[in-house]
Amino acid sequence: MVMGILIMGLGVALFKLALMGNDPSSAMVMAIGDKIGLDFSIMLIIMNALFFVVEIIWGRKYIGIGTFFNWFGVGILTTIYLKIINSLVIIPDAFLPRLAILVAGILVLSLSGSLYQTADLGIAPYDCLSIVLNDKTRFQYYWCRIFTDAISTLICFLLGGIVGLGTLVCALGLGPFIQFFTKHVSRKLCGYGDSDMQGPFSKK
């Protein structure tokens, strides 16, 4: 869980450095905050509180220490990573270097999400939405993740927010990548066998 959240801060930082659009949940929160005149940090707390209500009602078993570590820790870690990276290197303005940073961000964010969720020590409120859908429907997890990210992207767009390449790629790509890392990396690190149905992502 700790490894996943530490890596997640780096993934979010890479997205910000790429300047090609934020992940769908952050983009949506920024758009809503701009629309009603609230700072991103305040709006994020409010939105997480709303998502947490859903988690309490339908996903209470996913609430744990990881829920709150993710809720309040990722932002701090992202700021630290940004300061370290900006002090060490200068990011070129060219398209290809920023695209490479974006791709790295997608992979790191997917791996981190898979790690901390599969550890089963608590799921962040937004991430829990797709897991609850996975539990309550016959759809595989990656389709549920694509659905929640697509809805977030649509809300961002309708409210006049910035929808960049990174936002669109995340909306379509995070689910399959998280599913891949869960199957080939995270479940093995957590000691889950092929037939072990414990924890999130229990559906094959």
Q: Would the pLDDT of 203 be above 70? A: no
Residue 65's pLDDT is 93
Mean pLDDT of 65-91: 87
Residue 59's pLDDT is 93
pLDDT top residue among 200 and 78: 78
Mean pLDDT of 99-109: 92
Which pTM does this prediction carry? 0.79
Average pLDDT, the chain: 87
Q: At what angle do helices 24-36 and 40-58 cross, to 10 degrees?
A: 120
Going by pLDDT thresholds of 50, 70 and 90, the confidence category of residue 196 is low
Q: What is the pLDDT of residues 55-68, one digit of tens each?
A: 999 999 999 999 99
Residue 7's pLDDT is 93
Mean pLDDT of 64-86: 87
Mean pLDDT of 183-192: 87
Single out the residue of 81, 114, 105 nearest to residue 4, CA to CA: 114
Single out the residue of 194, 63, 32, 182 nearest to residue 125, CA to CA: 63
Mean pLDDT of 81-86: 91
Q: At what angle do helices 2-18 and 65-88 cross, to 10 degrees?
A: 40
Residue 177's pLDDT is 87
Mean pLDDT of 157-173: 88
Single out the residue of 26, 52, 196 nearest to residue 129, CA to CA: 52
Q: What is the pLDDT of residues 119-143, one digit of tens each?
A: 889 989 998 999 999 999 989 888 8
By percentage, how much of the chain surpasses pLDDT 70? 94
